[in-house]
Amino acid sequence: MEIHESLQRLDFIVIIVYIVALLSLGMWVSLKNKGAQEDLFLGGRTLPWYNVGLSIFGTNIGPSFLIASCSIAYTSGVVGANFEWLAWWFLMLLGMLFIPHYMRTRIDTMPQFMLRRFGPKVYNFLSWYALFTTVILWLGGTLYAGGVLFSQIMAWPLWASVIFLALISLILTTVGGLVAVVVTDSFQSILMIAGSAILTIIAFTHVGSVERLITSVPDDYWKLFRPADDDVYPWHAIVLGYPVLAIWFWCTDQTIVQRALGARNLRQSQLGVVFAGYLKIIPPFIFMLPGILCFILHPDLSNPDEAFMTMVTNYLPVGMTGLIVAVLIAALVSTVDSGLNSFSTVFTLDIYAKKFRPGASPGEIKWVGRIVMIAVAILAILSALSMEGVGKDMFHLLQGIISFIAPPMGAVFLIGVLWKRATAKAALATLYLGSTVSLSIGLCHFKHWPSETFWPNHLLLAFYLFAGICAFMAVLSLLTQKSPDEEDMPTLAETYATMDEKPRFVWLLWAGLAVIMFAIYIIFD
């Protein structure tokens, strides 16, 4: 039976009610928060900690994540949990070091920070690079993943599914701005957690016992670190490559950082980030465990990507299936509306207001931002449709894209905030050469040129690229002099040392999370 054939009238009612509720919530929020451009882009810097944390969590969870988590768990067990349980290290860096640094400089976007650190040429490159990565990764890739899933659920063609989902996200973002995005992200995060938890509990009842759960799968299914010769995720690829992706994704990417910058003050931002860190404990238990349960109940699936929906269509009662479909829509919209808002923020504030219309009024900037959102939504739709037929599952497609986008960006940002001797000339050359090399290797990796076995794991490639790019920038910085455009900005360590108030309570929360995470790794050793 096809997925759409298993949906009953009540399921469709649940889906429709959810979509209407989502749009209504966004419009209600927009009516309560009318203002200038900051309301559209940074929420007037009024967001409380719980909205910040839930929005970071929800933005990170897309439809590809839900499907792929089950798929990886079905084929390899809990190894994919490393992408969730190691994230707390980098969220801690974001909250305790990077956010104080960004707030001290009073910036709205990541390119703006680089403008002060390295001058206008680096700033211009990063502005356009940030736009490119947002369209390809956040919007195009996510819309493609969601479109594939939604076309299976509703029996629609891929193009219709992509356009429909893009329209929902576009309406939310253009009407309410960041406040609406963050509030709906929070709502959707709660829905995703609740729906996935219910699915996990029901599926577990069909397995029957913890003993059967543990003994009915291979022993290595419960190992977080796999052998070095593992085909999917060898332990050294995770240890070396994941930090490269994580530094860029959690600490420097506009879509994530923007949520923390929208907090009403530093303490609320830090509390929101640590809250997101605690939330990262949850996904493996409710998003991956159904995949292991599916392996026990349905060991002969021809396509592991079908594990999640197999569990949904076989074990959930009428109405609950519709709820899970709504959860998937929530995951997609949460990621896409965040990407649309981030793209509009960078383009409008960093390009339009600074290059084309320096004297533009707040109202003009706000309307330009909305027009930009519509234009980029169209580009994202085209990008998503171009990914049809790439021959990779959702998770590996998006992780692979990140692996080749992250090294040059992460290297320049990290060296820029850690080392005062780094120069603008070195940064610019590194960005141009590093991005060209990284994206070219990424294309060859995706196309299997010159052969399918030529390239190592994409995480190892990310590490090699990052190490080489960092070395190149360090050497070139020593060979060049600083330009007059470069501001003598403090390093991360200097910023933290000069903070008036040390967040002892927040550090205690991070210490508690560290204890929990170390215990988890001992259990799954």
Type of residue found at 48 = P
Return the minimum-mean-pLDDT range out of 179-188, 235-244, 488-497: 179-188
Q: Provide the whole-model pTM.
A: 0.83
Which residues lie closer than 8 Å to 128 by C-beta, 6 or more apart?
none
DSSP state of 95: I
Q: What is the pLDDT of residues 391-426, one digit of tens each?
A: 566 667 777 888 998 999 899 999 999 999 999 999
**93-151 tens-digit pLDDT:** 999 999 998 888 777 777 778 888 999 889 888 777 777 777 776 688 778 877 877 77
Instruction: Give the C-alpha separation, 427 to 121, whole Å.
Output: 10
Which pLDDT value is given to residue 315?
A: 87
Residue 318 DSSP code = T
Instruction: Give the ranges where 283-393 is alpha helix by DSSP (H).
Output: 283, 289-297, 307-315, 320-345, 362-386
Residue-range domain boundaries for the chain: 3-21+39-387
Least-confidence region, from 136-140, 143-147, 430-434, 466-470: 136-140
Residues 352-388: pLDDT tens digits? 887 788 888 878 887 888 888 888 888 889 888 887 7
Confidence (pLDDT) at 490? 86
pLDDT band at 301 (very low <50, low <70, confident <90, very high): confident
Return the CATH class of domain 3-21+39-387.
mainly alpha
Q: What pLDDT is attached to residue 103?
A: 85
Assess contact for 200 and 297: CB atoms under 8 A: no
Distances (CA, A) of 237 to 175, 450, 456, 462: 42, 22, 9, 9
Average pLDDT, the chain: 84
The pLDDT, as a whole number, for residue 170 is: 80
Q: Which residues pair with 47 in a beta bridge?
A: 263
- What is the token pair recorded at 432? 């141009």
pLDDT score for 180: 58
**CB environment 90-114: b (16+ within 10 A), e (fewer):** bbbbbbbbbbbbbbebebbbbbbbb
Spatial CB neighbours of 490, under 8 Å, sequence gap ≥ 6: 101, 104, 498
DSSP assignment, residue 524?
A: T
**354 Cβ neighbours under 8 A, 6+ residues apart:** none
- pLDDT tens per residue, range 35-87: 444 444 444 567 889 988 987 887 777 666 777 788 889 988 999 999 999 99
* Helix spans in 44-157 (H): 49-60, 63-76, 82-85, 87-93, 99-105, 110-118, 120-133, 142-154
Q: What is the pLDDT of residues 307-359, one digit of tens each?
A: 888 898 888 888 888 877 877 777 677 677 767 777 777 778 777 887 788 88
- pLDDT tens across 191-236, in order? 778 888 988 999 999 999 999 999 999 988 999 998 888 877 899 9
pLDDT score at 317: 86
Output the pLDDT for position 34.
Answer: 52
